[in-house]
Structure 1
Amino acid sequence: MLARIYRPSKTAMQSGRAKAANWLLEFEPQAARKPDPLMGWTVTSDTESSQVKLSFDTKEEAVRYAESHGIAFQLIDPAPAKRIIKAYADNFAFGRRTPWTH
């Protein structure tokens, strides 16, 4: 049973990092998903991978939990955010490459 320990990225619907500050321990799926013949939804018989997500405040807590319970894990560190610094005044700069339009 392999688990992933990662820090989720923020969703497009939020401007802050409210739910993205915690680290998650999530299990890899053991069985493939298949379509349900009646409803057509994708289902799996493996409840650990689809329903169990453990949340931790720090990466060290998540690693300590996995090691103490004998869970093999893969640690995924988050990539640093690429900051694009912009200013409103750049729209009206003299050396602007493309002309400003409404």
Structure 2
Amino acid sequence: MQARIYQPARTAMSSGQAKTHHWVLEYAPAAPRELDPLMGWTGSADTQAQIKLTFATKEAALAYAKEHGIEAIVTEPKKRKANIRPGGYGDNFATNRRRAWTH
């Protein structure tokens, strides 16, 4: 049984860092998904694909995988630097702007 351990990225629709500080262990699919001929839904007999375990640290996730005999692949996150402007959001509406309004 193979699994992937990763730290989730932030959603594309948000600039916040919520739900990105934990680590996730997710099983690799053991069987391909099948198309139901009547309804057109996709399904699988693989119940492990529905499981996502969360851990506070990467070490805890690796310890769980080792304890249960799971072959795990760790994907390290790519950190971005913070985009903090000196004036912040209020600088967009300042009366003493030196640059032209671009919005």
With the length of structure 2 as denominator, give the TM-score of the two structures: 0.76
Gaps of 5+ in 1: none
TM-score, structure 1 as length reference: 0.77
Gapped regions of structure 2 (runs ≥ 5): 92-96
What is the CA distance between 1:24 and its match in structure 2? 0.2
Task: Check if 1:38 corresponds to 2:38.
Answer: yes
- Give 1:22 shift: 0.9
- Counterpart-to-counterpart distance in 2, 1:22 and 1:59: 8
* Structure 2 residue matching 1:54: 3-state secondary structure: strand
CA deviation map 1:69-102 (0-9, x unaligned): 111100111012155565777xx768xxxx8766
Identity of aligned residues (%): 49
Q: How many residues align?
A: 97
C-alpha distance in 2 between matches for 1:80 and 1:8? 11
Runs of 4+, deviation exceeding 6 Å: none
Give the corresponding residue for 1:8: 8
2-structure distance, mates of 1:39, 1:87: 55
What does the per-residue CA deviation read over 1:19-43, in whole Å, with 9 as the maximum and x for residues that have no partner? 1111000000001112111221211
Structure 1 residues 41 and 93 mapped into 2: Cα distance closer, same or farther (>3 Å)?
farther
Instruction: State whether structure 2 residue 63 is matched by structure 1 residue 67.
Output: no
Structure 1 residues 82 and 35: alpha-carbon distance in aligned structure 2, compared to 1, 3 A threshold = farther
Cα RMSD of the aligned pairs, angstroms, is 2.4
